[in-house]
Amino acid sequence: MDKIEFANLRKRLEKTQKQMAQLLGTSLKAIHSYEQGWRNIPIHVERQMLFLLSRKIKKEKGISPCWVIKSCPLKLKQRCPAWEFRAGEVCWFINGTLCQGKVQQSWKDKMKKCRECAVFQPLLVP
């Protein structure tokens, strides 16, 4: 996540910088630093912002679970944590999911795949 995406997500969440700092459990100075590009945005901050946005979008638009969107076969679903925890609208948030039949090894690798996926796309479109 870069500084522009961070600022855009904060605005989509309809939060001030101060409110975002409180939600993320960080300082206002950290929020300023993320939005100015002075500090890299930690993975846990990115995940939390995307999770909060996913809850808002689900409420507004309704999001189908990943196994429906991707038409996953039962054998694959039964091995996937997103299915196990009935969290198909936030599959991107859960490590160990079987995206395209394969577990991604790192958050960076996972996000690369997720950003191209129809399940994650609603988070990227304002």
pLDDT along the chain (126 residues), means of 10: 94 96 96 96 93 81 84 91 91 86 84 87 78
**Alpha helices, DSSP H, located in the chain:** 3-12, 17-24, 28-36, 43-61, 66-69, 74-77, 81-84, 107-114, 121-124
User: Which pLDDT score is estimated for 99?
Assistant: 82
Domain check: are 41 and 88 in the same one?
Answer: no
Domain check: are 49 and 67 in the same one?
Answer: no
With tokens 């995940």, the residue in question is 47
Domain check: are 1 and 55 in the same one?
Answer: yes
Residue where one domain finishes, among candidates 30, 62, 94: 62
Enter the pTM of the model.
0.78
Residue-range definition of the domain harbouring residue 123: 63-126
User: Which pLDDT score is estimated for 59?
Assistant: 64
The answer to whether 53 and 6 are in contact (CB under 8 A) is no
Domain count, the chain: 2
Residue where one domain finishes, among candidates 62, 82, 111: 62
User: Which pLDDT score is estimated for 61?
Assistant: 67
